[in-house]
């Protein structure tokens, strides 16, 4: 996310030649990357193309080649936040959440002072996920809290459809709170999701478990009933669409 559309690139898909031709002008580069531009002599053949080719490899499932290209982009432009972010995705997905967390933390550091950005929100979100995979619950909660803060501030200016991205950070933070023994804060997070998206069946289900553990069986049953109703409705809708497409 974020990096995939940072530059105007034409994919050539020629095995014997370069994967990409870069149409990015120097002026456009300065506009899009004011924080990092001054760290290298502009050359569209180097960090930009390594980043975009790495993304192409990643989409094709060639993770080792993708990570190698992100390494090259970073070596040539140490302040290239997008390259660190994408390398973090590769590392976290392939069993190295600690290294992924280091890359996301680098993104956060590079973006310090740049204001709220979607890349920053995504970096904090994925940092939380990496920390959750390592059971570092306090750090997980802190990262998701930062992602939520950025997402809520950005929502007014840029709402990505009916469901903001930061609701997923609420969901995962609620799970982290549960694992950390703080059921009240977990309950508050699942309730916050339901307030913003009343059709989130998973949030109802997880909240029902907390109510049940507290002995509040009526509230637990209400949430379970709502969860079942939503899931059944989605199942019927999916069946109707499939029938229509036959």
The 3 state secondary structure assigned to the chain is CCHHHCCCEEECCCCCCCCEEECCCHHHHHHHCCCCHHHCCCCCCCHHHHHHHHHHHHHCCCHHHHHHHHHHHHHHCCCCHHHHHHHHHHHHHCCCHHHHHHHHHHHHHHCCCCCCCHHHHHHHHHHHHHHHHCCCHHHHHHHHHHHHHHHHHHHCCCCCCCCCCHHHHHHHHHHHHHHCCCHHHHHHHHHHHHHHCCCCHHHHHHHHHHHHHCCCHHHHHHHHHHHHHHHHHHHHHHHHHHHHCC
Mean of per-residue pLDDT scores for the chain: 80
Region 74-89: mean pLDDT is 93
Task: Check: pTM over 0.85? Answer yes or no.
Answer: no
pLDDT of res. 210: 96
Indicate the range of 36-50, 122-136, 192-206, 231-245 predicted with least confidence.
Answer: 36-50
pLDDT of res. 1: 34
Q: Is the pLDDT of residue 77 over 70?
A: yes
Indicate the range of 148-157, 185-194, 226-235 predicted with least confidence.
Answer: 148-157
Q: Which tens digits make up the pLDDT trace of 31-49?
A: 554 444 444 445 555 787 7
pLDDT of res. 243: 52
Please state the separation of Cα 27 from the chain's center in Å: 29
Question: Alpha-carbon torsion 48, 53, 59, 65, what sign?
Answer: negative
Tokens for 87, please give them.
């390398």
pLDDT of res. 28: 54
Q: Is the pLDDT of residue 17 over 50?
A: no
Q: Which residue's structure tokens are 């709220």?
A: 116
Region 83-99: mean pLDDT is 94
Q: Which tens digits make up the pLDDT trace of 95-143?
A: 999 999 999 999 999 999 888 999 999 999 999 999 999 999 999 999 9
Q: Is the pLDDT of residue 5 over 70?
A: no
pLDDT of res. 29: 46
Under the banding of pLDDT at 50, 70 and 90, the label for residue 57 is confident
Using alpha carbons only, give the angle 138, 143, 145 rounded to the nearest 5 degrees.
Answer: 95
Structural contact between residues 168 and 124, judged by C-beta atoms closer than 8 angstroms: no
Both ends of the chain: CA-CA distance in Å?
A: 34
pLDDT of res. 163: 66
- Residues belonging to the chain: 246
Tokens for 213, please give them.
């553990």
Crossing angle of the two packed helices 81-93 and 118-133, in degrees rounded to 10: 30
**Burial class of 189 by CB neighbour count within 10 A (0 to 12, 13 to 18, 19+):** buried
Nearest to 11 by CA among 48, 69, 42, 53: 53
pLDDT of res. 27: 54
Highest mean pLDDT among 152-156, 159-163, 199-203: 199-203
């Amino acid at each position: 996310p974020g990096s995939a559309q940072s530059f105007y690139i034409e994919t050539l898909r020629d095995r014997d030649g370069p994967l990409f031709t870069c149409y990015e002008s120097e002026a456009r580069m300065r506009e899009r990357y004011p924080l990092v531009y001054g760290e290298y002599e502009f050359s569209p053949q180097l960090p930009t193309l390594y980043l975009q080719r790495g993304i192409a490899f990643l989409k094709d499932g060639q993770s080792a080649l993708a990570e190698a290209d992100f390494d090259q982009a970073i070596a040539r432009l140490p302040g290239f936040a997008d390259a660190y972010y994408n390398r973090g995705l590769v590392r976290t997905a392939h069993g190295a959440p600690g290294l992924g967390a280091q890359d996301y933390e680098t993104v956060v550091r590079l973006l310090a002072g740049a204001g709220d950005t979607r890349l920053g929100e995504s970096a904090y979100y994925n940092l939380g996920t990496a920390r959750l995979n390592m059971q570092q619950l306090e750090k997980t909660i802190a990262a998701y809290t930062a992602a939520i803060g950025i997402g809520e501030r950005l929502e007014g200016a840029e709402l990505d459809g009916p469901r903001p991205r930061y609701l997923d950070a609420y969901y995962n933070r609620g799970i982290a709170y549960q694992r950390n023994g703080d059921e009240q804060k977990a309950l508050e997070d699942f309730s916050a999701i339901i307030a913003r998206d009343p059709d989130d069946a998973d949030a109802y289900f997880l909240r029902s478990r907390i109510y049940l553990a507290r002995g509040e069986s009526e509230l637990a049953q209400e949430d379970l009933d709502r969860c079942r109703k939503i899931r059944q409705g989605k199942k019927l809708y999916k069946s109707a669409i499939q029938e229509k497409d036959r």
